[in-house]
């Protein structure tokens, strides 16, 4: 089936956000805590210093400087051992995994310490977190031997807890939902997957969720990574199966927004497919370079595009509007060895989509960048640090990053609508 072609749009308009927050600040002193007590948050100063830009930001051709008002940026220190793939956000409330066994939450900019929501057994692991509406969902895994029964899974987990956490040939996984307003966790799905790669050990199942539906994937042949999978779309309220599209390849990621399902499949490369309850068969739309993202309302999907000199395609961030099929390609200038933007995300607002991504400059410095399609306002947030996570919630850009030495971790919430970009 032919892929939708990508059109070009005008190059970036002016605007650089230059705040220099993570440059010269020392790491916060460690605070000893009793076991199972949440780590404290030190809130950065309300008056944010503006640092002089380093020479490497000049490598981002076509961009100019923009300075947000201090009130438009909220910040919070986070623990330095969060699991980078495992973050979620509802507004500016973020959820993250500390180590591999504890889920904590905080509101960016709050003076309150993070609150522990979930604690797993020592040999279990929490490797995915999703949150939406009033529900927190997570994937908990346990080591399993060669047996494939649920009772063997429990026995293997108990044995591992007393003898050490072995890297077994199979992984048992369980999907748990918990109401953020209180209540006991609910087991929504479970299974066992044979480990045939590092990817299946870390992600034996993928989880995506909206306030009403969630999606998981199960291999059609548990021992074969590339034998195709079934994506189950179920109801959050009671777990009822609603529809179940089939893939031809290994599922690299799942996304849900509104009633839209987006699936990244992997073989020799990545293939982005979409479906919904009306048309539950997956339809291919693109071949991303490394990742894709779906807006919360399901109206926009975005992905990274690698440069292709032979076809005269620049590296950039592509955005597709659903269901109309309107598409754009935002070229992303970079003088780094990296040929594509990193981790593009998209948000839907009343005036159109906002896209954000991590861009690189000379020397490999990383800068979160964004563009508002309503007025072509765009900018770069001058952090120059190691990126962990990026997200958009409405017109709020959420970033989690560390200093270059990994000594501390900071979360940012940047209000793009108040920064003059008229996103709402």
Which residues on adjacent β-strands are paired with residue 355?
Answer: 346, 371
- Given strand 377-380, what is the order of strands in its sheet? 342-349, 352-360, 366-372, 377-380
Backbone angles phi, psi at 201, to 5 degrees: -70, -45
Q: Is the pLDDT of residue 141 over 90?
A: yes
pLDDT, residue 212, reads: 96
Residue 308 inside a domain? The answer is yes
Distance, in Å, from the CA atom of 339 to the CA atom of 328, rounded to the nearest integer, reads 19
Q: How confident is the model at residue 281 (pLDDT cuts 50, 70, 90)?
A: very high
Supply the pLDDT for residue 222.
62
Predicted confidence (pLDDT) at residue 254 exceeds the cutoff of 80: yes
Task: State which residues form the domain around 397.
Answer: 1-81+291-424
Task: Return the number of other C-beta atoms located less than 10 Å from residue 62's C-beta.
Answer: 12
Q: Look at residue 25 and tell me if it is in a domain.
A: yes
What values do phi and psi take at 200, rounded to 5? -75, -25
- What's the pLDDT tens digit per position in 358-415? 887 766 777 888 887 755 667 777 765 778 899 999 989 999 988 766 667 899 998 8
Q: Is there a domain that residue 93 lies in?
A: no
**Residue 332 token pair:** 């992303």
Q: What's the helix, strand, coil split of the chain in %, to 5? A: 10, 45, 45
d(CA 204, CA 201): 6
Per-residue pLDDT of 60-91, as tens digits, reads 555 555 566 788 889 999 988 887 778 999 99
Q: Token digits for 385?
A: 């640090």
Residue 286 covered by a domain: no
- This prediction's pTM: 0.81
Q: What per-residue string of b and e applies to 167-188 under the rule 16 or more CB within 10 Å gives b?
A: ebebbbbbbbbbeeeeeebeeb
φ, ψ of residue 101 to 5 degrees: the values are -125, 0
- Percentage of the chain beyond pLDDT 70 is 71
**Contact call for residues 302 and 32 (beta carbons, < 8 A):** no
As a whole number of angstroms, the distance between CA 116 and CA 160 comes to 24
Contact assessment for residue 138 and residue 122, using Cβ atoms and an 8 Å cutoff = no
pLDDT digits (tens, 9 = 90+) for 231-252: 999 999 999 999 999 999 889 9
Q: Which among 3-17, 258-272, 407-421 has the top mean pLDDT?
A: 258-272
Q: How far is CA 332 from the centre of its chain?
A: 20
pLDDT at 284: 94
Reported as a single tens digit per residue, the pLDDT across 78-129 is 988 887 778 999 999 999 999 889 999 999 999 899 999 999 988 899 999 9
- Given a cut of 90, whether residue 27 has pLDDT beyond it is no
User: Is the confidence at residue 255, as pLDDT, over 50?
Assistant: yes
Q: Residue 171: inside a domain, yes or no?
A: no
* Inside any domain, residue 345: yes
- pLDDT grade, residue 24 (50/70/90)? very low
- The region of weakest confidence among 169-178, 188-197, 329-338 is 329-338
Evaluate whether residue 305 is within a structural domain: yes
Residue 43 lies in a domain: yes
Residue 284: both structure tokens together: 């291919």
How many structural domains are present in the chain?
A: 1
């Amino acid at each position: 089936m032919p892929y939708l072609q990508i059109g070009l749009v005008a190059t970036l308009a002016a605007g650089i956000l230059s705040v220099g927050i993570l440059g010269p600040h020392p790491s916060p002193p460690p605070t000893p805590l009793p076991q199972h007590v949440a780590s404290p948050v030190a809130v950065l100063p309300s008056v944010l210093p503006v640092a002089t830009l380093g020479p490497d930001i000049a490598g981002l051709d076509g961009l100019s400087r923009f300075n947000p008002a201090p009130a438009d940026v909220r910040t919070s220190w986070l623990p330095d051992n969060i699991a980078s793939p495992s973050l979620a956000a509802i507004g500016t409330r973020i959820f993250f995994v500390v180590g591999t066994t504890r889920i904590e939450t905080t509101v960016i900019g709050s003076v309150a310490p993070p609150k522990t929501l979930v604690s797993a057994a020592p040999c279990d692991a929490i490797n995915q977190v999703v949150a939406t509406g009033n529900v927190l969902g997570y994937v908990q895994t346990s080591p399993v031997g060669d047996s494939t029964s649920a009772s063997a899974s429990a026995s293997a987990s108990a044995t591992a807890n007393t003898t050490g956490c072995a890297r077994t040939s199979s992984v048992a996984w369980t999907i748990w939902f918990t109401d953020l307003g209180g209540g006991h966790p609910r087991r929504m799905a479970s299974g066992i997957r044979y480990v045939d790669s590092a990817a299946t050990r870390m992600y034996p199942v993928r989880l995506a969720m909206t306030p009403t539906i969630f999606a998981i994937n199960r291999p059609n042949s548990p021992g074969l990574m590339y034998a195709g999978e079934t994506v189950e779309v179920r109801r959050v309220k009671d777990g009822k199966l609603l529809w179940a599209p089939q893939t031809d390849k290994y599922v690299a990621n799942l996304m849900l927004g509104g009633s839209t399902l987006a699936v990244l499949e992997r073989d020799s490369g990545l293939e982005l497919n979409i479906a919904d309850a009306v048309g539950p068969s997956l339809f291919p739309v693109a071949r991303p370079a490394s990742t894709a993202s779906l807006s919360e309302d399901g109206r926009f999907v975005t992905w990274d595009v690698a440069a292709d000199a032979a076809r005269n395609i620049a590296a950039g961030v592509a955005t597709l509007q659903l269901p109309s099929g309107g598409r754009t390609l935002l070229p992303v200038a970079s003088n780094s060895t990296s040929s594509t933007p990193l981790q593009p995300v998209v948000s839907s607002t009343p005036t159109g989509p906002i896209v954000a991504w991590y861009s690189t400059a000379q020397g490999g410095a990383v800068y979160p960048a964004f563009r508002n399609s309503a007025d072509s306002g765009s900018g770069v947030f001058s952090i120059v640090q190691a990126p962990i996570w990026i997200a958009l919630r409405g017109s709020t850009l959420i970033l989690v990053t560390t200093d270059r030495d990994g000594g501390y971790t900071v979360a940012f919430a940047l209000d793009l609508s108040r920064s003059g970009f008229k996103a709402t």
